[in-house]
Amino acid sequence: MMGMTSWEVRAAEQGWRKGPWTPEEDKLLNEYVNLHGEGRWSSVAKSAGLNRSGKSCRLRWVNYLRPGLKKGQITPQEEGIIIELHALWGNKWSTIARYLPGRTDNEIKNYWRTHFKKREKSSHKQEKRKAQLLKQKQQQENMSRVSSHADTDKLLKVTDQENHENQQNTVTMHPSASTVEDHYSPVMHHHDNNTIASNWSSDQYCVVDEGLWGGLWNLDDHDPRNDHVDANHINKIITMQNQATGFTFGGDSNNFYNTGGYIF
DNA sequence: AAGCCGCGCAACCGCGCTCGT
DNA sequence: AACGAGCGCGGTTGCGCGGCT
């Protein structure tokens, strides 16, 4: 056990190899799946001569070895789709991944966390700052009702202005609206009249966060009622993307929808 | 040059669902 | 109907690397 990392120790204790895959392991898994197909992952591990759990094999195949996987950065078009679908479904990464050919749920999940969570953080910071200032003001009021509050007021005004400016770039999204378009449509509701999703700046995305409505949007993608709604909405997203960029994501949105995003 | 820090991403873990027996 | 194995999903962890001090 000397010189082993913590995961190596744990893996040794449980009998399975863990941690990063070697090229040799990749080769074994690749050859086996190409010959016998996907599924039966626990037997894949044994039959292919891999000392890996079935889970580990499946994950490696799905996220890394599977043919047709897109390598490289998420494009602005894909980012737009991720944002839209996340607003619609919340953290349903595998569902979202179905509409992004060649991308995995893991990849999308990581992308969201690294690119959008930090913006959420910065908006939380701003909230904290305002709360702190309010607290300060209240303390000052308590300590001396006679003294002037001009400086604090000024600070608060600046913060309010910052917030107001932020709201100008906020996408309206409210669950009490009556249709999907009313619920969430950046095209309809975007305040600064810039109606093309792909032209949004990264800062404009920042308030579309799960902290506000994400939890309310865990629609079941297998509910036929939602299928109807989703198909319409996704149709719109694709149209928007195409209009914005001239990039053709798919000629027929129904086909796009029905094939799980795989359009050839 | 060296240490520290934050980010990106691959991989693991726990839980819940499905399906076969 | 009950149970267990297999699988999929979402959340979390930890490593490697590049940038900063």
The reply to whether A40 Cβ lies less than 7 angstroms from strand C is: yes
The reply to whether A212 and A161 lie within a common domain is: yes
Q: Which residues of chain A have pLDDT under 50?
A: 1-13, 143-230, 244-264
The reply to whether A110 and A205 lie within a common domain is: yes
CA of A119 to C1' of C20 (A): 21
The reply to whether A179 and A160 lie within a common domain is: yes
Q: Is residue A189 part of a domain?
A: yes
The reply to whether A173 and A124 lie within a common domain is: yes
How far apart (Å, rounded) are the C-alpha atoms in residues A173 and A213? 8
How many Å separate Cα A103 from the centre of its chain?
A: 12
Report pLDDT for A20: 85
Residue A204, both tokens: 């404009």
Report pLDDT for A239: 60
* Residues composing chain A: 264
How far apart (Å, rounded) are the C-alpha atoms in residues A113 and A108? 9
Residues 6+ away with beta carbon under 8 Å from A257: A99, A230, A231, A234, A235
Report pLDDT for A63: 85
The reply to whether A247 Cβ lies less than 7 angstroms from strand C is: no
The reply to whether A47 and A85 lie within a common domain is: no
Report pLDDT for A38: 81
Q: What is the pLDDT of residues A36-88, one digit of tens each?
A: 888 788 788 778 888 888 888 888 888 888 888 887 788 888 888 888 888 88
Report pLDDT for A112: 84
Q: Would you say A216 and A74 are in contact if contact means Cβ atoms under 8 Å apart? A: no
Nearest nucleotide to A11 (CA to C1') is B12
Q: Is residue A263 part of a domain?
A: no
Q: What is the pLDDT of residues A207-230, one digit of tens each?
A: 333 333 333 333 333 333 344 444
The reply to whether A88 and A197 lie within a common domain is: yes
The reply to whether A94 and A178 lie within a common domain is: yes
**SS3 for A187?**
helix
Q: Widest CA span of chain A, in angstroms?
A: 84
Ramachandran sector of residue A90 (left: φ over 0; alpha: ψ -120 to 50; beta: rest): left
Question: Which protein residues have their Cβ less than 7 angstroms from some atom of strand B?
Answer: A 7, 10-11, 17-21, 55-56, 59-60, 63-64, 73, 106-107, 109-111, 113-115, 118
Q: Would you say A135 and A104 are in contact if contact means Cβ atoms under 8 Å apart? A: no
How far apart (Å, rounded) are the C-alpha atoms in residues A192 and A200? 10
CA of A58 to C1' of C8 (A): 10
Strand C bases within 7 angstroms of protein beta carbons: 5-12, 14-15
How far apart (Å, rounded) are the C-alpha atoms in residues A150 and A156? 10
Q: Is residue A219 part of a domain?
A: yes
Split into its structural domains, chain A has a count of 2
How far apart (Å, rounded) are the C-alpha atoms in residues A227 and A171? 24
The reply to whether A210 Cβ lies less than 7 angstroms from strand C is: no
The reply to whether A42 Cβ lies less than 7 angstroms from strand C is: yes
Distinct helix (H) and strand (E) counts, chain A? 12, 0
**Number of neighbours of residue A204 by Cβ within 10 angstroms:** 20
The reply to whether A49 and A136 lie within a common domain is: no
What is the domain-level CATH number for residue A54?
A: 1.10.10.60
The residue whose CA lies nearest the C1' of nucleotide B9 is A110
The residue whose CA lies nearest the C1' of nucleotide B11 is A19
The reply to whether A107 Cβ lies less than 7 angstroms from strand C is: no
CA of A3 to C1' of B2 (A): 24
Q: Is residue A33 part of a domain?
A: yes
The reply to whether A109 and A224 lie within a common domain is: yes
CA of A79 to C1' of C11 (A): 21
How far apart (Å, rounded) are the C-alpha atoms in residues A23 and A233? 42
Q: By residue range, what is the domain housing residue A104?
A: 76-258
